[in-house]
């Protein structure tokens, strides 16, 4: 099984690789666009090729546009043209995971908790009107929601995670009013981040299932950097990917 994990920044990629391959050196592979894939072969299993899972970890940059572009590049690069004399094409990815830290909605996802998306929502894709926000579907074109792979439910159970919508925003929430607005429009939302929908858009267009995993570093609401727990969230992310390894191994069989 081949899995692509897409984070925004290097610190998140560090936590993911540490969880998947503790104490094992990973290899680096350059792909077009100046990006580097960190490869975690046989991730976390310590088994032979019969159950081998290979995970590539990509730090794509912040925001949905950067995430979509880098994910699409990696997905394209994973499938090579057939070789000479009828050699088969290299296999592509079986799953794409958007991962990292993010904000948690009060009463749903506390600091340090893990959220696995059951919907990946572009929360600010649409139009503002005197009567409020209109999602892009209501405008008659496009989509603002991707449904994750069926596997996401198993992932949530394995990680003891909240299984609920994760919102993708281009501007991180920094006021109580904005948090209340998002909660009113998306009452089941557990977390917000900046890359999930971009990753999902690229994955879906390549026909690859997608999932999103977020470790909560701060509360969605007034911007208060003193209350952020980034270190704890990165550690929670590392542990989440440690727990994820057996799920991937089982799926690969």
CA atoms within 13 A on the CB side of 93: 30
User: Any bridge partners for residue 210, and if so which?
Assistant: 96
Is residue 148 scored above 60 in pLDDT? yes
CA atoms within 13 A on the CB side of 39: 15
Mean pLDDT of 77-83: 65
Q: What is d(CA 70, CA 56) in angstroms, rounded to the nearest whole number? A: 13
pLDDT for 43: 63
Match 């730090």 to its residue by tokens: 59
pTM for this one? Answer: 0.91
Mean pLDDT of 121-138: 90
Instruction: List, for residues 37-73, the tens digit of each pLDDT value.
Output: 999 876 655 444 445 788 999 999 999 999 999 999 9
Long-range contacts of residues 227-231, Cβ cutoff 8 Å, at least 24 apart: 229/111, 229/112, 230/101
CA torsion through residues 15, 162, 70, 63, sign: negative
Query: Are 143 and 137 spatial neighbours (Cβ–Cβ below 8 Å)?
Result: yes
Q: What average pLDDT does the structure give for the chain?
A: 90
Q: What is d(CA 99, CA 242) in angstroms, rounded to the nearest whole number? A: 13
Q: Which domains does the chain have, with CATH numbers?
A: 2-81+90-252 (3.40.50.1580)
Residue 150 pLDDT grade (very low, low, confident, very high; cuts 50, 70, 90): confident
For the chain, give the percent of residues with pLDDT over 90: 72
The torsion angles phi and psi of 68, rounded to 5 degrees, stand at: -65, -45
pLDDT for 81: 44
Instruction: List, for residues 108-119, the tens digit of each pLDDT value.
Output: 999 999 999 999
pLDDT for 80: 62
Q: What is d(CA 155, CA 215) in angstroms, rounded to the nearest whole number? A: 14
Mean pLDDT of 79-107: 76
Q: What is d(CA 249, CA 132) in angstroms, rounded to the nearest whole number? A: 45
Q: What is d(CA 213, CA 168) in angstroms, rounded to the nearest whole number? A: 12
DSSP 51: G
Residue 223 pLDDT grade (very low, low, confident, very high; cuts 50, 70, 90): very high
């Amino acid at each position: 099984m081949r899995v692509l994990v897409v984070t925004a920044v290097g610190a998140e990629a560090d936590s993911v690789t540490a969880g998947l391959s503790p104490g094992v050196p990973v290899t680096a592979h350059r792909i077009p666009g100046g990006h580097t894939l960190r490869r975690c072969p046989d991730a976390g299993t310590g088994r032979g090729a019969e159950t081998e899972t290979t995970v590539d970890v990509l730090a794509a940059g912040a925001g949905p546009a950067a995430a979509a572009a880098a994910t699409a590049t990696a997905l394209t690069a994973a499938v090579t043209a057939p070789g000479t004399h009828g050699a088969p094409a290299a296999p592509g990815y079986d799953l794409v995971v958007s991962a990292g830290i993010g904000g948690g909605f009060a009463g749903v996802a506390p600091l340090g908790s893990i959220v696995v998306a059951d919907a990946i929502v572009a929360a600010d894709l649409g139009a503002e009107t005197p009567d409020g926000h209109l999602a892009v579907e209501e405008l008659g074109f496009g989509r603002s929601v991707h449904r994750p792979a069926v596997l996401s439910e198993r992932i949530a159970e394995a990680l003891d995670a909240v299984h609920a919508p994760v919102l993708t925003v281009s501007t991180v929430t920094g006021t109580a009013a904005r948090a209340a607005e998002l909660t009113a429009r998306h009452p089941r939302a557990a977390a917000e981040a900046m890359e999930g929908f971009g990753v999902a858009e690229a994955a879906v267009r390549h026909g690859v299932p997608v999932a999103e995993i977020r470790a909560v570093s701060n509360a969605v609401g007034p911007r208060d950097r003193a209350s952020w727990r980034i270190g704890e969230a990165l550690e929670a992310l590392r542990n989440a990917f440690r727990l994820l390894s057996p799920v991937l191994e089982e799926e690969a069989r």
